[in-house]
Structure 1
Amino acid sequence: MHGVSGGDGCLGAHRRAPFTGVVGVAGAGASVNRLADRLGSITRIADRLVRLNCSGRVAADTQEVRVAEDRGGTVSARDRVIRTARSLFIERGFAATSLQMIAGALGVTKAAVYHQFPSKAEILAAVLEPAIKQMRSIPRSVEQAGSRADDFDMVLDGLVDLVMEHGEIAAMIRRDAAVAEFVTADESFASLTAQLDRALIGEHPTPAARAALIIAGGGLMMTGADPASSLIDRATLRRVLSESVRRLLEPYRPV
């Protein structure tokens, strides 16, 4: 921000050199009076221009700290940070992405990013939130159904839907150790995954059941990491994913 204290700020320089010493000079005549009037008008105009310039600087600084809205006006400053960070986390990894990189990709200062999020960890939490929220909705849907006989199918379908919607995020959790550590540090997330696992392979799974779940889960989560998946139409990809996971886990389905 441009200071204005002590008369040395945006307005101070103008005030140190006012148009004085002409108005009221004795015996100068009408022409001098007209000149004085003109100079007085110039003084007022100059003063207004300086004030407008100061206001503009303040507005510009404030706008930068807030992070400018998308040119289309449809994406919030916060969402722009999330989208940009998401792309960088997927491309470079969480640990290798700095706040300065995020700011540079946005074309703003690091302070502008800090205005939206106080830390990189909070940006990661916001990036992961939609996928985690959808994942948490799976057991709620199962509970609302009220029939444990259908738990296996509902959880399996829910996980396939999750990967279809958030494949890149699922892959990032799987392959980025820093992101995986961030997610698993949340006790509620560990409880959630245990609940989903029980629905798929039961309370006391055999070693073979655990191995099948590891293979099925790994295949699901890494689907979004393969660029070739974008060449497959979504209906076909979803069907094959569902059939493959079901084939692996069906022998260990809880009864």
Structure 2
Amino acid sequence: MSRYEPGDTRSRIIETARELFTAQTYRAASMRDIAERVGITKPTLYHHFRSKSEILANLVGPPIAQLEATVDDAAARLTQVEIRQHVLGGCLDVMLAHREIMAMLLRDASVYGEETTEVMSRMVAIVNRAIDLLAGPNPDWRRRVRAAQAFAAATDPVSQFADVPVDDLRAELLRGASAILDPEPID
């Protein structure tokens, strides 16, 4: 008997995969594990998804699309200050809303494989574009380094502090990223 209420089987499969991928790693979770946990047969699972990588793409697709839209929106801003605020704040909001999925993307090396190249390449391209926007027009290498550091400072800890209230964590991560982008002169 399934532990789920009757409903959309595809949604149940994706939710179960999220649980298994984040608990066990992407590589360790099998199609059999997913099917058993959903309460369906493997052939039924394969009717809905051709592969585990297709399930992953459906799982991470919405947050990646939100990140992409956030970066696109930031790029349309008029000033560098607005661009930075929208890149950091917007990307952080998406990542905080999808903490488990982002933790998997940031911490589970097994999601980076031949079968997931397209999805992971898209994520890398979004992060690179966000960093370029943070660096501003015509940045020197130091500015690009600070932009990459700032983006990492704002986003990487999202998966490590699940016990911290979202608003508090968001404020602290933005404070840290801003300090990297606009450091005090060093004597």
Is 1:236 the counterpart of 2:168? The answer is yes
Q: Return the match for 2:145 from 210, 220, 235.
A: 210
Structure 2 unpaired stretches of 5+: none
Task: Find the residue that maps to 1:139 and give its secondary structure.
Answer: helix
Q: Return the match for 1:194 from 121, 124, 128.
A: 128
The two structures have a TM-score, normalised by structure 2, of: 0.81
RMSD of the TM alignment (CA)? 2.7
Aligned residue for 2:37?
Answer: 105
Ranges of 4+ aligned residues in structure 1 off by more than 3 Å: 183-191, 202-205
The two structures have a TM-score, normalised by structure 1, of: 0.61
1:151-173 C-alpha deviation (Å, 9 max, x unpaired): 11111111211221112211211
> Taking every aligned residue pair, what percent have the same amino acid on both sides?
27
| Count of residues paired in the alignment | 178
- The amino acid of 1:199's aligned partner reads L
Is 1:223 the counterpart of 2:158? The answer is yes
Task: Find the residue that maps to 1:229 and give its secondary structure.
Answer: coil
- 1:85/1:157 Cα in 2 relative to 1: closer, same or farther (>3 Å)? same
Asked if the contact 1:155–1:196 (Cα under 8 Å) also holds between the matched residues in 2, the reply is: yes
Q: What is the deviation of 1:185?
A: 6.2
1:70-101 C-alpha deviation (Å, 9 max, x unpaired): 42x4x411000000001111111111111001
Residues in 2 aligned to 1:188 and 1:207: alpha-carbon distance in whole angstroms: 25
1:9-46 C-alpha deviation (Å, 9 max, x unpaired): xxxxxxxxxxxxxxxxxxxxxxxxxxxxxxxxxxxxxx
- The amino acid of 2:145's aligned partner reads R
- The amino acid of 1:108's aligned partner reads I
Task: Find the residue that maps to 2:27 and give its secondary structure.
Answer: coil
1:83-232 to structure 2, matched below 5 A, reads 83-145=15-77, 147-149=78-80, 150-181=82-113, 182=116, 187-202=121-136, 203-207=138-142, 209-210=144-145, 213-214=148-149, 216-217=151-152, 220-224=155-159, 226=160, 228-230=161-163, 232=164
1:12-51 to structure 2, matched below 5 A, reads none
- 1:168/1:186 Cα in 2 relative to 1: closer, same or farther (>3 Å)? closer
